[in-house]
């Protein structure tokens, strides 16, 4: 079976200028290809889910999370390997 090599980034918090730019900029630096982005803003509340390819990234997943967190300090950031979603929601 092919190894799953994607991760899911979620960013939630009050909307402001440049969130997407900061997060995707960091992904580019880490050599992570952005595969899919979905975002919504509801009543000033920003919610973004980004799926990235991590087979060639140049840092650990946890470092990526910490650095994204530093760039958007007011947001709640999660970076999680896709396996957790697959195992919880798929049989």
Say if strands 45-53 and 6-14 run parallel, antiparallel, or are unpaired. antiparallel
- Nearest distance, CB of residue 80 and another protein, angstroms: 4
Per DSSP, 59 falls in state S
Query: 17 or 76, CB closer to another protein?
Result: 76
Q: How far is the CB of 28 from another protein (least distance, A)?
A: 21
In the bound state with another protein, the residue whose beta carbon lies nearer, of 22 and 82, is: 82
Binding residues for another protein (CB under 8 A): 8, 10, 38, 47, 49, 51, 60-62, 65, 76, 78-89
Q: Which is nearer to another protein, 29 or 36 (CB)?
A: 36
């Amino acid at each position: 079976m092919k190894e799953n090599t994607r991760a899911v980034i979620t960013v939630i918090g009050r909307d402001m200028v440049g969130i997407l730019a900061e997060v995707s900029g960091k992904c580019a630096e880490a050599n992570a290809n952005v595969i899919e982005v979905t975002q919504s803003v509801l009543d000033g509340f920003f919610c973004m889910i980004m799926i990235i390819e991590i087979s060639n990234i140049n840092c650990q997943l946890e470092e990526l999370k910490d650095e994204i967190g530093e760039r958007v300090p007011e947001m709640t950031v999660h970076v999680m390997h896709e396996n957790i979603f697959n195992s919880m929601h798929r049989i």
